[in-house]
């Protein structure tokens, strides 16, 4: 078993993007559609930060939204394939996620309905409405007015992060050219800043690149902001958000992780696909070998007992290991599954062995999704020459006959390029996960069947 905590992977090759006619910034086609739909439906919105890479967003796309338009925005995002990820204790932040199969890319929107700062969103500003009223439009993109963009990014670094990442430093110095100490956001900072740290001084430090002095300002500004807020308000918000974050995993039972089993004849690419899913999954993932025998390269710790009880216990232990990680919100990738016991045995068996095999095939509950990798026998033989073509052809047909016996099974054409197989598998897993989160069905029974390779 191996856990992968890799972040979402983005593959930006062959990306077809849309260009904003005014800013010249390239947009991912789906983001362009989101922005245009929001604008067309008269939703008040704008980008909160513009340095997320709109053509190939490798991080969250931060969007400031009028809370009065939230219900309308939810409908628009759902229609465009985004799924709301439940997350409590994140203040005014709402997260929406989708998977772009064509470009093997995860796109996450961080929709913010208010401007709050601090690790637990304890510092309120009440500035969102005014910032939205001053927003600027550049083709399909709406952005903060330059002065608002400077001060909101500065407060994000000072109060949220407590430091200034290099990318934000360059952006702040660029925005400082037009920032104003006497503007609306500048006056807010002036009110909340500690004595001796006025907006003019802070602006001058950014222009001069004195990041050490600004780092020292971070805790001082947080302390001063607490003193200037209504007594106890910041403390209550901090406590509530901390408690809600801790309760999220316990109470959001629908957000438990997914389990997917990979089954196939030898040579179909199960191990390669499992490794690819661990790399590309947006969610943390864990690999669990679920074959009927010991994992490759290992020796069973159990002696063969009457009726094979040790093997039964071993399968249950593997399943419960996966179940534990699934309840922790991880994607559990089962390499093989108990369904191998449903296949005809390769040789004659005694009645006792047949009974044990029957029991093994029905031992544990089904996973959320079963992916059957299928390819012509000649391709299987070329990839792994352990068995002859005739044997692999028969084995392939035995696996295909499982389709009518196993719920939530999808057949993937494993004769294609490994990258294409990975994208299709990721897309199917995401669709199954999204259906569970939204409680919707797409009108089809079970999981859609991929196109099969020729017999």
Per the structure, the complete domain to which residue 16 belongs is given by 8-250
Give the three-state DSSP class for 385.
Answer: coil
Answer whether residue 2 is part of any domain: no
Domain boundary among 209, 235, 250: 250
Answer whether residue 453 is part of any domain: no
Answer whether residue 445 is part of any domain: no
C-alpha to C-alpha distance for 13 and 29, rounded to whole angstroms: 14
> Of 365 and 216, which is predicted with more confidence?
216
* Strand segments (E) across 270-424: 285-289, 331-335, 369-374, 409-413
- Number of C-alpha atoms within 13 angstroms, CB side, residue 435? 16
Q: Is the pLDDT of residue 86 over 90?
A: no
C-alpha to C-alpha distance for 357 and 353, rounded to whole angstroms: 6
Same domain, 244 and 336: no
pLDDT bucket at 21, cuts 50 / 70 / 90: very low
Same domain, 217 and 326: no
Q: Is the pLDDT of residue 447 over 70?
A: no
Same domain, 242 and 262: no
Q: Estimate the crossing angle of helix 166-175 against helix 146-155, to 10 degrees.
A: 150
Q: In what order do the strands lie in the sheet with 285-289?
A: 2-4, 285-289, 331-335, 259-263, 369-374, 409-413
Cβ count near 34 (within 10 Å) = 26
Give the DSSP H/E element, type plus range, for residue 138.
strand 136-138
Answer whether residue 49 is part of any domain: yes
Q: Is the pLDDT of residue 401 over 60?
A: yes
Cβ neighbours for 231, distance < 8 A, ≥ 6 positions apart = none
Cβ neighbours for 391, distance < 8 A, ≥ 6 positions apart = none
Q: Is the pLDDT of residue 429 over 70?
A: yes
pLDDT bucket at 209, cuts 50 / 70 / 90: very high
Give the three-state DSSP class for 4.
Answer: strand
Same domain, 336 and 433: yes
**Strand 331-335 and strand 369-374: pairing?**
unpaired
Answer whether residue 28 is part of any domain: yes
**Residue 85, strand partner residues:** 95
Domain boundary among 250, 279, 295: 250
Q: Is the pLDDT of residue 308 over 70?
A: no
Same domain, 315 and 216: no
pLDDT of residue 425: 96
Answer whether residue 447 is part of any domain: no
Same domain, 47 and 160: yes
Q: How many domains does the chain have?
A: 2
- Percent of the chain at pLDDT > 90 equals 56
Same domain, 141 and 45: yes
Mean pLDDT of 20-24: 40
Answer whether residue 278 is part of any domain: yes
pLDDT of residue 54: 86
Same domain, 172 and 88: yes
| 372, 403 Cβ separation under 8 angstroms | yes
Q: Is the pLDDT of residue 151 over 80?
A: yes
Same domain, 321 and 243: no
> Of 148 and 167, which is predicted with more confidence?
148
What backbone torsions phi and psi does residue 40 show, to the nearest 5 degrees?
-65, -35
Same domain, 222 and 350: no
C-alpha to C-alpha distance for 258 and 152, rounded to whole angstroms: 37
Q: Could you tell me the CATH number of the domain that includes residue 360?
A: 3.40.50.300
C-alpha to C-alpha distance for 322 and 300, rounded to whole angstroms: 19
Cβ count near 97 (within 10 Å) = 22
Answer whether residue 446 is part of any domain: no
| Per-residue model confidence as pLDDT tens digits over 222-278 | 999 988 877 667 788 888 888 888 877 666 555 678 999 999 998 999 999 999 999
Domain boundary among 230, 250, 270: 250
C-alpha to C-alpha distance for 358 and 447, rounded to whole angstroms: 25
Same domain, 390 and 273: yes
CA-wise closest residue to 84 among 74, 72, 69: 74
Cβ count near 132 (within 10 Å) = 20
pTM over 0.95: no
CA-wise closest residue to 420 among 451, 381, 389, 394: 451
Q: Is the pLDDT of residue 96 over 80?
A: yes
Same domain, 41 and 15: yes
């Amino acid at each position: 078993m191996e856990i992968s905590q890799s972040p979402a992977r983005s593959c930006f090759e062959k990306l077809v993007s849309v260009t904003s006619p005014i800013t010249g910034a390239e947009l991912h086609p789906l983001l362009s559609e989101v922005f245009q739909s929001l604008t067309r439906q008269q939703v008040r919105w704008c980008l909160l930060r513009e340095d997320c890479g709109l053509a190939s967003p490798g991080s969250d796309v931060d969007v400031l939204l009028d809370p009065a338009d939230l219900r309308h925005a939810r409908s628009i995002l759902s229609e465009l394939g985004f799924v709301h990820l439940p997350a409590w204790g994140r203040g005014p932040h709402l997260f929406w996620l989708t998977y772009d199969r064509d470009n093997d890319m995860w796109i996450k929107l961080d929709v913010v309905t208010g401007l709050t700062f601090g690790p637990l969103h304890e510092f309120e500003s009440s500035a969102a409405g005014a910032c939205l009223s001053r927003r600027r439009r550049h083709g399909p993109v709406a952005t903060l007015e330059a002065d608002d963009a400077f001060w909101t990014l500065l407060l994000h670094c000072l109060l949220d992060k407590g430091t200034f990442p290099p990318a934000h430093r360059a952006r702040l110095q660029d925005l400082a050219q037009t920032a104003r100490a006497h503007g609306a956001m500048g006056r807010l900072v002036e009110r909340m800043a500690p004595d001796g740290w006025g907006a003019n001084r802070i602006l001058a430090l950014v222009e001069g690149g004195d990041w050490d002095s600004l780092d020292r300002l971070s805790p001082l500004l947080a302390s001063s902001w607490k003193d200037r807020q209504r007594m106890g308000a910041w403390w209550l918000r901090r406590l509530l958000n901390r408690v809600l974050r801790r309760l999220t995993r316990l109470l959001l039972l629908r957000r438990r992780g997914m389990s997917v089993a990979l089954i196939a004849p030898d040579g179909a690419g199960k191990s390669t696909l499992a490794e690819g899913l661990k790399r590309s999954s947006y969610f943390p993932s864990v690999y669990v070998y679920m074959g009927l025998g010991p994992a490759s390269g290992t020796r069973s710790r159990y002696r063969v007992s009457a009726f094979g009880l040790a093997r039964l216990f071993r399968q249950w232990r593997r399943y419960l290991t996966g179940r534990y990680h699934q309840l922790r919100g991880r994607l559990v990738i089962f390499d093989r599954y108990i369904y191998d016991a449903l296949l005809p045995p390769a040789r004659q068996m005694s009645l006792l062995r047949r009974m044990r095999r029957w029991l093994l095939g029905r031992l544990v509950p089904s996973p959320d999704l079963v992916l059957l990798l299928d390819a012509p026998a000649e391709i299987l033989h070329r990839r792994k020459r352990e068995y002859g073509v005739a044997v692999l052809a028969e084995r392939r047909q035995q696996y295909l006959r499982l389709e009518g016996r196993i719920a939530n099974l999808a057949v993937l054409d494993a004769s294609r390029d490994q990258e294409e197989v990975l994208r299709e598998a990721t897309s199917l897993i995401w669709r199954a996960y999204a259906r569970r989160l939204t409680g919707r069905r797409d009108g089809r029974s079970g999981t859609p069947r991929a196109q099969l390779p020729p017999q």
